[in-house]
Amino acid sequence: MKPYVISNVGMTLDGKLATIANDSRISGEEDLKRVHQIRKEVDGIMVGIGTVLKDDPRLTVHKIPAKKEDNPVRIVVDSKLRVPLNARVLNKDAKTIIATTEEINEEKEEKIKKLTEMGVEVIKVGKGKVDLRKLMEELYKRGIKKILLEGGGTLNWGMFKENLVDEVRVFIAPKIFGGKDAPTYVDGEGFKTVDECVKLELKNFYRMDDGIVLEFKVKK
């Protein structure tokens, strides 16, 4: 069994999640409230270590009225345990799970000890990269039945490639960032043929701030 996964991003018309200089101010205030309403409704919120290192996000519900208990469990996918011990995602505002690989050296062992002392749970799944399929099973076992996947592009690819995403919600801003090295909604290696690609069914769309929200179900 695996959690139901909603992928949400704010992106530009050219599919960028941030500029080449990592300026990711894409959503307006109303759209951020929409995202925080989803955060409030899910059991877990998941990002890759790239997003933690670049944005130092809190990943709590802080744009709409909420209690501490409304914060979902924060999940960071981090094979090499690069998460800084002073990252905001490790603060006491919510529980945090770090997913890493089964390959443990002395340095990682020491970091796991420190993280555990801070109340952070470390889950070890996979070799080389975190095994996202096994991670989903582990999260489900811990009562995490619904997850908001908040990127970035590399983790989004990993999740789409493994067919682990059930629903897509995107805010498209009327902006073009350009830049071949700027992160896009889904990066990674990409599919070689249209036959292999992820197929979506459009369910809803509406205006939001100066842009548009599109909602899709992933065809299975």
Ligand X SMILES: NC(=O)C1=CN([C@@H]2O[C@H](COP(=O)(O)OP(=O)(O)OC[C@H]3O[C@@H](n4cnc5c(N)ncnc54)[C@H](OP(=O)(O)O)[C@@H]3O)[C@@H](O)[C@H]2O)C=CC1
Task: Give residues in contact with ligand LIKH6CAM (CB under 6 A).
Answer: 8-10, 24-27, 35, 47, 51, 55, 57-60, 150-151
Shortest distance, position 147 Cβ to ligand X, whole Å: 14
Shortest distance, position 11 Cβ to ligand X, whole Å: 6
Contact of residue 153 among ligand LIKH6CAM, ligand X, none (CB under 5-8 Å per partner type): ligand X
CA angle (90 as vertex; 29, 84 as ends), nearest 5: 105
Q: What is the C-alpha to C-alpha distance for residues 168 and 187, in angstroms, rounded to an integer? A: 16
Distances, alpha carbon 46 to alpha carbons 75, 135, 147, 200, 215, in Å: 5, 11, 7, 21, 19
- Indicate the residue among 9 and 135 with the shorter CB distance to ligand LIKH6CAM: 9
Task: Check: CB of residue 170 under 8 Å from CB of residue 151.
Answer: no
Shortest distance, position 25 Cβ to ligand LIKH6CAM, whole Å: 6
Does residue 7 touch ligand X according to CB under 6 A? no
Does residue 150 touch ligand X according to CB under 6 A? yes
Residues 67-96 that bind ligand X (CB under 6 A): 77-80, 82
Rounded to a whole number of angstroms, the CA Rg of the chain reads 17
Does residue 148 touch ligand X according to CB under 6 A? no
Give me the residue whose beta carbon is nearest to ligand LIKH6CAM. Answer: 10
Shortest distance, position 56 Cβ to ligand LIKH6CAM, whole Å: 7
Q: What is the C-alpha to C-alpha distance for residues 144 and 21, in angstroms, rounded to an integer? A: 34
Q: How many CB atoms lie within 10 A of CB 212?
A: 16
The residues, any chain, with a CB within 8 Å of residue 59's CB and separated by 6 or more, are 39, 45, 47, 72, 74, 89, 94, 150
Which positions lie near ligand X, rule CB under 6 A?
9-10, 17-18, 22, 24, 26, 47-51, 54-55, 77-80, 82, 129-130, 132, 150-155, 158, 183, 187
